[in-house]
Amino acid sequence: MPGKALFALTAPSVVLLVAWRLWEQNPDTAVMWLLGIAMGAMLQRSRYCVAAAYRDTVMFGDTGLARSLLLALAISSVTFGVIQAMRWPDGFPIAAQRISAGTLAGPVLFGIGMIPAGGCAASTLLRLGEGNLRFLWTLAGLVLGSLLGAYHFGWWEKLLGTAQPVYLPAALGWPGAILVQSSLLLAAFLVIKWWERRGSVLL
């Protein structure tokens, strides 16, 4: 098929040409470009979507994506755990997130929004790559909303005050953190399994 052959020749060349130009400017951006392409291609081929993991479980009792999300979390808990214990024994940059009213309200608003949008931020990027232009509107919304959120951020922090970030290994030690983390992952898995076996479909 000439179309396939043309694609097989041009796609890698374009990817590598961009990577080469980025490498000259800043090698880090070239590495991230290639990792992003790997991520985008893998998630596109497997129809991955965090929003759908939650929605399909709740609405349809379809837990395939939710199980796969748990699998991803279990694997990356191990890999991130090893990297963090070796590189950042005192805690990892992302763990230094203070807890505020926004930490509680933010995910609720995010969860409400992902239902009418039909996907999360990641699937917005994936659907755009597949050529679905409806997600340009979601993208515009994401930019507008995240600007508004940044503008109001101080207000949300003042609302209930802020609590120090909780990095489980620092709070409980590594054995305790591993125990809590695995118990939570296992509990989530059992709840999902129970929900599916019950044939529960909400709403």
Partner 1 sequence: MPENDPRRVPVGPPGAWPYWVGGVALALINTLILLADDRPWGITLVFTLLGSRALQSVGLHPENWTYFNQGGRDTLLSQFGWADTYLWLNLGVVAGALLGSLAVGEFAIRPWPKKWRKLLLSLGGGVLMGYGARLALGCSVGAHIGGISSFSLHGWIFAVMLLVGALAGIRLFRRIL
**Residues 142-171 close enough to bind partner 1 by CB under 8 A:** 142-154, 156-157, 165-169
Among residues 9, 17, 83, 190, the one that binds partner 1 under rule CB under 8 A: 83
Q: Please tell me whether residue 195 binds partner 1 under the rule CB under 8 A.
A: no
Among residues 2, 5, 24, 79, the one that binds partner 1 under rule CB under 8 A: 79
Residue 66: closest CA among 48, 40, 78: 48
Write out the binding residues for partner 1, residues 107-146 only, by CB under 8 A.
Answer: 107-118, 120-122, 124-146
Q: 50-60 and 121-129 are packed helices; what angle lies between their axes, rounded to 10 degrees? A: 110
- Nearest approach in angstroms of CB 66 to partner 1 is 9
Q: Output the six-digit token pair for 104.
A: 């509680």
Q: Please tell me whether residue 192 binds partner 1 under the rule CB under 8 A.
A: no
Q: Measured between alpha carbons, how far is 81 from 95 in angstroms, rounded to an integer?
A: 12
Write out the binding residues for partner 1, residues 32-71 only, by CB under 8 A.
Answer: 32-48, 50-52, 54-56, 58-62, 64-65, 67-71
The answer for 118, left when phi > 0, alpha when psi is -120 to 50, beta otherwise, is left
Alpha carbon distances (Å) from 83 to 90, 180, 183: 12, 19, 21
Site of tokens 């802020």: 162
Q: Output the six-digit token pair for 42.
A: 């893998």
Among residues 99, 160, 189, 195, the one that binds partner 1 under rule CB under 8 A: 99
Among residues 16, 17, 104, 190, the one that binds partner 1 under rule CB under 8 A: 104
Q: Please tell me whether residue 86 binds partner 1 under the rule CB under 8 A.
A: no
Among residues 9, 13, 16, 97, the one that binds partner 1 under rule CB under 8 A: 97
Looking at the Cβ atoms of 42 and 190, the one nearer to partner 1 is: 42
Q: Are 156 and 100 in contact (CB under 8 A)?
A: yes
Q: Measured between alpha carbons, how far is 182 from 77 in angstroms, rounded to an integer?
A: 9
